Structure 1
């Protein structure tokens, strides 16, 4: 399966395929402006990586936001349900991490969704024990 899979850093991607992934991941229920804003989200990410199957269909994605100098934050990691538990998500995270390191970033973080900590720990991420993620809700 992994031989048929391609990981590509992109500055543009098919918005319909990305929207389908976001919906499948349960992150975007009602998408009203996404088609208009997704091109900017892809373009302005420090690294936006898509995963494509042998037919060229996007079956996964992840991105890094960063200033390109110090810190990088991995987010929006989604693998289509049909392709999960095949090592694709693990390889995607490794590729994103390696991209950050190859561009000189010295600090790479992410916020693990409930129930996913073990997945990230196996790849080398550790819990930040004395820190708590926070969000400003608008």
Structure 2
């Protein structure tokens, strides 16, 4: 898209998505894992089984996504926020996060967290997130 052109997009909650679009987003974000090719149904499970999965669409094409893992009662974690590189800088990522937060709050979720990739924390702090002082994210090691 040429610089300065206006891109129309819509944000909506979805329970399924095109495999090609999902693969494109994961590859573009650098999150692609060969196990997705061995078990393509796992990509659809990511959409279907998330508490909330939000897609950003330019026409029929999925150009951005974000999801929340939650009990939908008290706590939620936002993850996998991604926008195709060619669509970045248009406010799509912000709208995805804002939509996730709004829908979670509507369901009564009062604790919303995420783990930001290095170099992305300023994106999230301008959307109302703050560093958890005295907390360290941990991951189970196989």
Q: Could you say whether these structures have the same fold, taking a TM-score greater than 0.5 normalized by the shorter chain as the test?
A: yes
Structure 1: tracts of 5 or more residues without a match: none
Which position in structure 2 is the counterpart of 1:51?
Answer: 56
Question: What is the CA distance between 1:9 and its match in structure 2?
Answer: 0.3
Q: Distance in 1 between matches of 2:39 and 2:66?
A: 16
**For 2:102, which of 77, 84, 98 is the aligned residue?**
98
Q: Distance in 1 between matches of 2:55 and 2:94?
A: 13
CA contact (8 A) 1:16 1:35 kept: no
Which position in structure 2 is the counterpart of 1:60?
Answer: 64
Q: Distance in 2 between matches of 1:63 and 1:33?
A: 23
Question: What is the CA distance between 1:61 and its match in structure 2?
Answer: 0.3
Q: TM-score, normalised by structure 1?
A: 0.93
Does 1:82 pair with 2:93?
no
Does 1:136 pair with 2:135?
no
Which position in structure 1 is the counterpart of 2:129?
Answer: 125
Q: Distance in 2 between matches of 1:9 and 1:33?
A: 27
Q: Structure 1, residues 72-126: CA drift from partner, whole Å, max 9, x if none?
A: 1000000000111111111111111001001110000000100001110001000
Structure 2: tracts of 5 or more residues without a match: 1-5
Is the partner of 1:112 in helix, strand or coil? coil
Q: Structure 1, residues 38-81: CA drift from partner, whole Å, max 9, x if none?
A: 2222111100011000x210000000000111101000000000
CA contact (8 A) 1:19 1:34 kept: no
**For 1:40, which of 30, 39, 45 is the aligned residue?**
45
Q: How many equivalent residue pairs?
A: 136
Q: Distance in 1 between matches of 2:108 and 2:136?
A: 26
Q: TM-score, normalised by structure 2?
A: 0.91
Query: Which of structure 1's runs of 4+ aligned residues deviate more than 3 A?
Result: none
Does 1:113 pair with 2:113?
no
